[in-house]
Amino acid sequence: MDFSLTADEKMIQEMVRGFAQQELKPQAATLDAEHKMNLDNLARMAELGLMGMNIPEAYGGAEVGVVPYSLAMTEVGRACAATAVTMSVTNMVGEVICAFGTEEQKQKYVTRLCSGEYAAGAFGLTESLAGSDPGSMRTQAVREGDYYRLNGSKLFITSAEYAGVTVVWAVTDRQAPKSRRISAFLVEQDTPGFKVGKAEEKMGQRGSATNELVLEDCLVPAANLLGQEGDGLKIALMALDGGRIGIGSMAVGIGYEALDFARDYAKERVQFNQPIASFQAIQWMLADSYTEMESAQLLVLRAAYLKQQKTRFSREASMAKLLATEGANRACYRAIQILGGNGYIAEYPVERLYRDVRVTTIYEGTSEIQRLVIARHILNA
């Protein structure tokens, strides 16, 4: 077993680290304060190949694989979580179109996501009455000749206000068993009846827009059905498995960023005539959280490796997301504890990191849903 990165993986990691540290990190506090994404950053990321890392070159992707994608997400997550989540969802949308789309859909949408012609992609699954249980959604799609007429609404959709294309899920057959009830559609931003609502006021990741979507007699060409009618739940669950690698990788980045800051602070801050890093209480917090983040990164990379090998990785992705996001939450909590009062003050970055990391145990499936997936695999083994 070889745990070392290949020369290409190291090169990509270093390239993304350089970009993220120099260009994204200095802007993270401003994007948070102004609640605004910097679309120029997204265009630059597309130029660097970061918006389609696991997508074939034939569709404009970088085609470097899932392990480099995970490493890149960790670096971008370290620098700016709001930008990282945008990158994660955009890659996920490109990949799901690649996996289930027609040749025409791939040529049209995936190339635009990868090139930056579309600032981002969005994933429209959640509704106010259907979160962890997407199969119970209400949005409806009715076939009318060459179109589907969509009516309903979506909630908490990342990047919806600047996404060129949104994958929207809707019920196509209310009578079908739950697993075959919904279908997925590719909806362009300027489609009549597709209305992006207000961006939510959020605790963290404030630079990333999270919008409501309203579909009012939204006519989507039948050619924009993704996969077959009834495939929607399968498509969503498959996309979420991969998405969990992205969010787990990002959480590892946020956790390490908070810990590195706390470590440096603990070496400088003197109380009782000695650096607080000399107290065992502080050392153990650092030791526990670095151990947890390192084990989480191993799990995340293992899930990425399995996906790259095109073998089953659902259980591993859920385990990785669970440990990485809960571990990163603990790391940020401890980082604030190590900084004491300063940790709570917005002038210090751990205050933002603590807010940014919180949602990672909620989106792309809550921690409870990850445990449910893991337990199903264990019990059905």
Ligand X SMILES: Cc1cc2nc3c(=O)[nH]c(=O)nc-3n(C[C@H](O)[C@H](O)[C@H](O)COP(=O)(O)OP(=O)(O)OC[C@H]3O[C@@H](n4cnc5c(N)ncnc54)[C@H](O)[C@@H]3O)c2cc1C
Q: Which is nearer to ligand X, 105 or 210 (CB)?
A: 210
Least gap, CB of 124 to ligand X (angstroms) = 6
**What does the CA dihedral 92, 95, 99, 104 come to, rounded to 10 degrees?**
120
Closest residue to ligand X in the complex (CB): 131
Q: Which is nearer to ligand X, 93 or 266 (CB)?
A: 93
User: Token digits for 151?
Assistant: 């009516």
Q: Which is nearer to ligand X, 337 or 366 (CB)?
A: 366
Least gap, CB of 339 to ligand X (angstroms) = 25
Q: Which is nearer to ligand X, 65 or 124 (CB)?
A: 124
| Cα 263 off chain centre by | 27
Catalytic (active site) residue 364? yes
User: Token digits for 302?
Assistant: 């293992």
Distance CA 54, CA 253 (A): 20
Least gap, CB of 256 to ligand X (angstroms) = 21
Choosing from 75, 351, 364, 368, the catalytic residue is: 364
Least gap, CB of 242 to ligand X (angstroms) = 14
Q: Which is nearer to ligand X, 159 or 289 (CB)?
A: 159
User: Token digits for 159?
Assistant: 């990047």
Binding residues (CB under 6 A) for ligand X: these are 89, 123-126, 131-132, 156-158, 202, 210, 359, 362-363, 365-366, 368-369, 372
Distance CA 301, CA 320 (A): 8
Q: Which is nearer to ligand X, 89 or 277 (CB)?
A: 89
Cα→Cα distances 303→6, 8, 16, 76, 196, Å: 17, 19, 21, 19, 34
Q: Which is nearer to ligand X, 283 or 367 (CB)?
A: 367
Q: Which is nearer to ligand X, 58 or 203 (CB)?
A: 203
Least gap, CB of 196 to ligand X (angstroms) = 12
Least gap, CB of 60 to ligand X (angstroms) = 22
Least gap, CB of 230 to ligand X (angstroms) = 19
Least gap, CB of 157 to ligand X (angstroms) = 5
Rg of the chain's alpha carbons, rounded to an integer? 21
Interacting residues of 114 by C-beta distance below 8 A, sequence separation 6+: 46, 49, 51, 52, 55, 59, 60, 61, 62, 94
Q: Catalytic site residues? A: 364
